[in-house]
Structure 1
């Protein structure tokens, strides 16, 4: 098996078995079969509804826990700090494990900043072994760069200036890039120059700063 070394030196298999759309009743058997033929990365999610089956298969496999890489994901309904933290504990219980190797935000909806802070706290507590190890701002900057966008972040704090520059030592997964793309509403959040009301207000403000008419 070939492994990818993540930023914190955790090794993640390049090839794994996913249980999306595998029913809870079938999950245990399917994961048991996957483990028996050599898979060591098992990918599940809270939304799949089959974490318990995954955990049961792993527990019965006889394979040492440290040899299996478990990935799960926080669902969008849990996208606040409090709900994400509680859902991580619930996933740990369903999977029957003390830690999850990689915990992701399934989609970047809701209070995903709060949910990410819950991931950081779970990581610090040893309940999650791997994540990007970056701030939400760094992840956003990296996503924009990987989408071929030149970014100009602004900060008045030197430590944040350093953080904003420290985005070239990691890459985002295809899944995270897809989640990032999904939140694009194709509209400006600060000043929408295609909105007539905004343009009118802007022109009125510019005119107010001049001695005479704009045109």
Structure 2
């Protein structure tokens, strides 16, 4: 799986840059050949990232860095590089088995802890009150941090209510700045809201050009819960980086399919956490705040919705 993902990063995603295009720190993109993708060489480093305000008043960056499959020395390097080019939201999870690498990357970056927004998640095997408390402590120790900005229940399985009670207590103790969930459907989230004391701040779910989740988005907005999209590029599945519709839209703004995808999420009010191991792509993904998709662009992307997950093996 990791080998396949690296292949997407190196090849399938990018065949769009012109020879000599400048990236952060003076690095250059090489010519990668002709393709359907239309890109821009205009990629500034340290692009400022806007924030949303969660229902508890905490500010959260609208664009972050995902770390799935990024472990060991590579993970450490990627996290440090992501921070160096401007990312402040860093997302990890117990099941990713890379919290130690993420923590090492944070330390390597030299950034002040207060400037970061770090998320982790409790896995199904650790569901329940006591196990969640223990899992949280383990995550903090691996990350080398004193607190988390956001802690999520990774999937709606096991003793969800026990986990939520533990997270509520950790939140009240100041060890977590915000608590939320991941992969919850509206009815599952509604049940948790009715039984819990503290309102979830975030629901991190699958969302991308081929799976729009409009019902979930509407429910979350109605209840003032922030939607966050994992795999906003569908990990390159269904040839997202070659999609003609996204490419034609991008051509108008001199942007790539990836940038159009992230901008589409942003205009829908969704936080995203794209993952890449390539510094040039990290910088490219930040460069989405200098253009705006038209209503017609948004309508065309709506037609791409297949209304089904692109990750059936994860259900």
Report TM bin, short chain.
0.5 to 0.7
Q: Which has the higher contact order (CA 8 A, sep 6+)?
A: 2
Counterpart pick for 1:49 among 97, 104, 110: 97
Q: 1:118 maps to what in 2? A: 166
| SS of residue in 2 equivalent to 1:85 | helix
Q: Which residue of 2 aligns with 1:136?
A: 192
CA separation of 1:174/1:4 partners in 2, compared to 1, >3 Å: closer, same or farther? Answer: closer
Deviation (angstroms), 1:25: 3.3
Q: Structure 1 residue 38 and structure 2 residue 94: aligned?
A: no
2:157 to 97, 106, 109: 109
Is 2:106 the partner of 1:58? yes
TM-score with structure 1 setting the length: 0.66
DSSP-derived class of the 1:4 partner: strand
RMSD: 3.4
Aligned twin of 1:192: none
C-alpha contact 1:45 1:51 (8 A) present in aligned 2 = yes
Q: Which runs of 4+ in 1 moved over 6 A?
A: none
1:171 aligns with 2:225: yes
Describe how 1:1-215 pairs up with structure 2 within 5 A.
1-131=49-179, 136-138=192-194, 146=215, 168-174=222-228
Aligned residue in 2 for 1:207? none
SS in 1 for 2:169: helix
TM-score calculated relative to the size of structure 2? 0.46
SS of 1:100's equivalent? coil
1:60 shift after superposition = 2.5
Give the whole-Å Cα distance in 2 for the aligned partners of 1:149 and 1:3.
20
In structure 2, how many angstroms separate the alpha carbons of the residues matched to 1:60 and 1:8?
31
Indicate the SS of the match to 1:71.
strand
Question: Which protein shows a greater Rg?
Answer: 1
Question: Separation in 1 of the partners of 2:53 and 2:195?
Answer: 18
Pick closer, same or farther for the CA change 1:33–1:7 going to 2, 3 Å. Answer: same
The answer to whether the 8 Å contact 1:18/1:43 transfers is yes
Q: Unaligned stretches of 5+ in structure 1?
A: 151-166, 183-215
Compared CA separation, residues 174 and 3, structure 1 to 2 (3 A): closer
State the 1:124 CA deviation. 0.6
Q: CA deviation at 1:175?
A: 5.6
Task: Flag the 1:33–1:80 CA change in 2: closer, same or farther, 3 A.
Answer: same
Counterpart Cα distance in 2 of 1:28 and 1:171: 31
Gaps of 5+ in 2: 1-48, 181-188, 204-214, 231-307
Q: Which SS does the other structure have where 1:59 is aligned?
A: helix
**Could you tell which deviates more after superposition, 53-62 or 93-102?**
53-62
